[in-house]
Amino acid sequence: MEQFMQQMINGFSLGSIYALIALGYTMVYGIIKLINFAHGDIYMLGAFAGFFAISAFHLGFIPSLIISMAICALAGMFIEKVAYKPLRTAPRISMLITAIGVSLFLENGGLLVFSPSIRTFPTIFPVKTYSIFGGIVKLTVKDIVVFLVMIVMLIILQYLVYRTKIGKAMRAVSFDKDAAGLMGVDVDTTISYTFAIGSALAAVAGVLVGIYYNSVWPLMGIMPGLKAFIAAVLGGIGIIPGAVLGGLMIGVIETLVAGYGNSLYRDGVAFAILIIVLLLKPSGLLGKNEREKV
């Protein structure tokens, strides 16, 4: 029981990070129906931005997080303008191939600029452990920070989407882009804001991973990006609560497989979940079944 509870805590920490990345996937898909495979590499950029802000400029956690979010938001908007916007009316496969190309560009650009070496992320929180439930479960400061940051980000995102003008525009564009344009919504600006918000959330995940695992490297976005994509599909891609649910589920399942089985199987299990979901319920746990021409 003790081990199970501890694995659940570890799973929720990992799942919170997956959920933050999956939110970017699901927001972009909800707006322009694009699976942005470069999103995992934006997460890598965010981790490096946080790394340099802390190690080179000796900034604290909050300023580093804000700088990282700003850099990734600008990067996301730039990528959308340069790579995706010219293909907005092209077949969807063209945008998908472009997303893979952007991902490869960022990964190899990262290797060139940052070098392939793994860098140690600075320690900014005290190494302290709290015992809860009568000492059965141990909670580190890093776990608490990850939980709190994810909750704060979710609250801010909910406010943006449901209480602001840009959120209303995003919901209108996701429902019917052409009709939203006819009603006076600036579709291009709305799409840019969506990329900015999704990329900023990926930056938060990148900084949290750097803090949690104490390391960053240029190819760190590949596997978490794919796992977050699986999380988004599991919860129902295009649905914000689905991305959070899917992220937490993938994180918990992965830690349980590593804790009770073999850690070598955890990636395989995640991809097996993707196959099962696509076979049994392609719309995801919270999605509705809709006929769509591919």
In whole angstroms, what is the distance from residue 267 CA to residue 287 CA? 24
Let me know: does 235 contact 246? Beta carbons within 8 Å: yes
Let me know: does 34 contact 84? Beta carbons within 8 Å: yes
Q: Does residue 291 belong to any structural domain of this protein?
A: no
Q: Does residue 105 belong to any structural domain of this protein?
A: yes
What pLDDT was estimated at residue 266? 86
Q: Does residue 257 belong to any structural domain of this protein?
A: no
DSSP designation for 80 = I
Counted residue by residue, the chain has a size of 294
Tell me the C-alpha to C-alpha distance, in Å, between residue 90 and each of 11, 21, 96, 141, 281.
Answer: 40, 26, 11, 48, 28
Q: b vs e for 265-294, b when ≥16 Cβ sit within 10 Å of the residue's Cβ?
A: ebeeebeebbeebeeeeebbbbbeeeeeee
Q: Does residue 292 belong to any structural domain of this protein?
A: no
Q: What is the pLDDT along the chain (294 residues), one digit of tens a residue?
A: 777 888 888 888 889 899 999 998 898 888 888 888 899 999 999 999 999 999 999 999 999 999 999 999 999 999 999 999 999 888 888 989 999 999 999 999 999 999 999 999 988 888 888 887 777 778 889 889 999 999 999 999 989 998 999 999 999 998 888 899 898 899 999 999 999 999 999 999 999 999 988 899 999 999 998 999 999 999 988 788 889 999 999 999 999 998 888 888 888 999 999 999 999 988 888 876 665 544
What pLDDT was estimated at residue 289? 63
Residue whose C-alpha is closest to residue 96's, from 34, 40, 22, 31: 34
Coil, helix or strand for 52?
Answer: helix
Regarding pTM above 0.75, the answer is: yes
What pLDDT was estimated at residue 102? 94
3-state per-residue secondary structure call for 177-212: HHHHHHCCCCHHHHHHHHHHHHHHHHHHHHHHHHHH
Q: Does residue 285 belong to any structural domain of this protein?
A: no
Q: Does residue 243 belong to any structural domain of this protein?
A: no
Displacement of CA 64 from its chain's centroid (Å):
18
Q: Does residue 289 belong to any structural domain of this protein?
A: no
What pLDDT was estimated at residue 6? 84
Q: Does residue 165 belong to any structural domain of this protein?
A: yes
Let me know: does 45 contact 71? Beta carbons within 8 Å: yes
Let me know: does 199 contact 24? Beta carbons within 8 Å: yes
Residue whose C-alpha is closest to residue 31's, from 273, 185, 238, 222: 238
Domain count, the chain: 1
Residue whose C-alpha is closest to residue 48's, from 152, 203, 197: 203
Could you list the residue range(s) of the whole structural domain that residue 103 is in? 13-221
